[in-house]
Amino acid sequence: MSAYYKSLARRTSPETVSLFPLNGAVLLPACDLPLNIFEPRYLNMVDDALKGDRLIGMIQSTKAGLAPVGGLGRIIQFSETDDGRYLIVLKGLKRFKLGADIESSAPYRQAKVDFSSFDQDADIHGAKRTTESLSEGGRTERSALTVAMKALAKKIGVQVDWQGLSDIPLPVLINQAAMISPFQPEDKQSLIEAVTTDERRRLLIGLMHLYAGGEGPNAPKTQ
């Protein structure tokens, strides 16, 4: 399926997207984001997406408005609950820069977007599991990330299938870890805005160690 989504990400560049603002949630390429949709305007948005290209733009809000960079997702799973909610899963295709809002009769927000700065995002869908070479510090890029992940997991008290993670290509693992880590919205935004995967990896490792040390704004405190 990775080849399919790589091709889809390359050829999918809508001029406008429907926006789902949600603080604390970012959508990065090759990763899945489950969502529980219950607000009427966003139920309407999902209905419209399912009638068309199944695309939704995930974006965070800030004090000044919407964040400058978001993630384009495609609905790959959909179900409806007895109480009228939608349970969907978005597959992250690629990132976009937010442009101007467009006028529409729809109850949800829509805006122009620009994908030109993120041409490399499609390649993440085709990433393969490789043996990383040693970095300057004598560790592989993967092992340095694993050390940081273990420190954060220990701090917040979660169990992780480390063996299972070993089969995930490093670029995808970086994106998944960036999405699910318990960081503040501004820290998650800095991760989605990182230009390259390696830049995101370095920033992610730093944030993990910061939160694991109890210094992050959302880090659990020890007694």
pLDDT, one tens digit per residue, over 97-127 is 999 999 999 999 999 999 999 999 999 999 9
Does residue 18 contact residue 109 with C-beta atoms inside 8 Å? yes
Whether 57 maps to a domain, the answer reads: yes
Residue 57 belongs to what domain range? 2-124
CA distance 181 to 219: 11
- pLDDT band for 25, please (50, 70, 90 cuts): very high
Is pLDDT of 208 > 50? yes
**71: which strand partners?**
58, 95
Please report whether residue 53 resides in a domain. Answer: yes
State the DSSP code for 221: P
Q: Which of the listed residues 124, 150, 173 is the one where a domain comes to its end?
A: 124
Is 84 part of any domain? yes
Region of poorest pLDDT, from 3-17, 115-129, 203-217? 203-217
3-state SS, residue 45: helix
Per residue in 31-60, pLDDT tens? 999 999 999 999 999 999 999 999 999 999
Decide if 222 is inside a domain: no
* 115 and 205, same domain (yes or no): no
- Both tokens of 130, joined, read 């490789």
As a whole number of angstroms, the distance between CA 79 and CA 76 comes to 11
Q: Is residue 221 part of a domain?
A: no
Does one domain contain both 90 and 165? no
Specify the pTM: 0.91
Asked whether residue 223 carries a pLDDT value surpassing 80, the answer given is no
**Boundary (domain end) residue, out of 124, 150, 177:** 124
Task: Report how far residue 199's alpha carbon sits from residue 179's, in angstroms, rounded to the nearest whole number.
Answer: 15
Q: 13 and 86: one domain?
A: yes
Instruction: Report the CATH number that the domain containing residue 32 is assigned in CATH.
Output: 2.30.130.40
Tell me, yes or no, whether 145 and 120 share the same domain: no
Cα–Cα distance measured from residue 26 to residue 136, given in angstroms and rounded to the nearest whole number: 31
Distance CA 147, CA 143 (A): 6
Residue 134: predicted pLDDT: 46
Q: Is 111 helix (H, G, I), strand (E, B) or coil?
A: strand
Same domain, 117 and 10: yes
Same domain, 21 and 120: yes
Q: Residue 77: inside a domain, yes or no? A: yes
Residue carrying structure tokens 């869908």: 125
Which of 191-218 are b and which e, b meaning 16 or more Cβ less than 10 Å from the residue's Cβ?
bbbbeebeebbbbbbebbbbbbeeebee
Domain count, the chain: 2
* pLDDT tens, residue by residue, 158-170: 999 988 888 899 9
Where among 92, 124, 156 does a domain terminate? 124
pLDDT band, residue 220 (cuts 50/70/90): very low
115 shares its domain with 46: yes
Selection from 186, 194, 193 nearest residue 61 by Cα: 186
Q: Report the 3 state secondary structure along 27-43.
A: CCCCCEEEEEECCHHHH
Same domain, residue pair 104 and 177:
no
Do 99 and 153 lie in one domain? The reply is no
- Evaluate if residue 218 carries a pLDDT over 70: no
Beta strands at 69-80 and 65-66: parallel, antiparallel or unpaired: unpaired
Same-domain pairing of 201 and 100:
no
The mean pLDDT value of the chain amounts to: 92
Phi first, then psi: what are they for 191, rounded to 5°? -70, -40
Question: Each residue of 53-102: pLDDT tens digit?
Answer: 999 999 999 888 999 999 999 999 999 999 999 999 999 999 999 999 99
Residue 134: inside a domain: no
Distances from the Cα of 110 to the Cα of 38, 58, 134, 198, angstroms: 19, 11, 45, 31
pLDDT at 219 exceeding the cut of 90: no
Cα 125 to Cα 73: distance, rounded to the nearest angstrom? 13
The answer on 75 and 15 residing in a single domain is: yes
Same domain, 29 and 102: yes
Q: Give the pLDDT band (50/70/90) at residue 199.
A: very high
86 falls within a domain:
yes
pLDDT of residue 214: 73
Q: What is the rounded CA–CA span in Å between residue 44 and residue 119?
A: 30
The rounded distance, in Å, linking the Cα atoms of 108 and 97 is 19
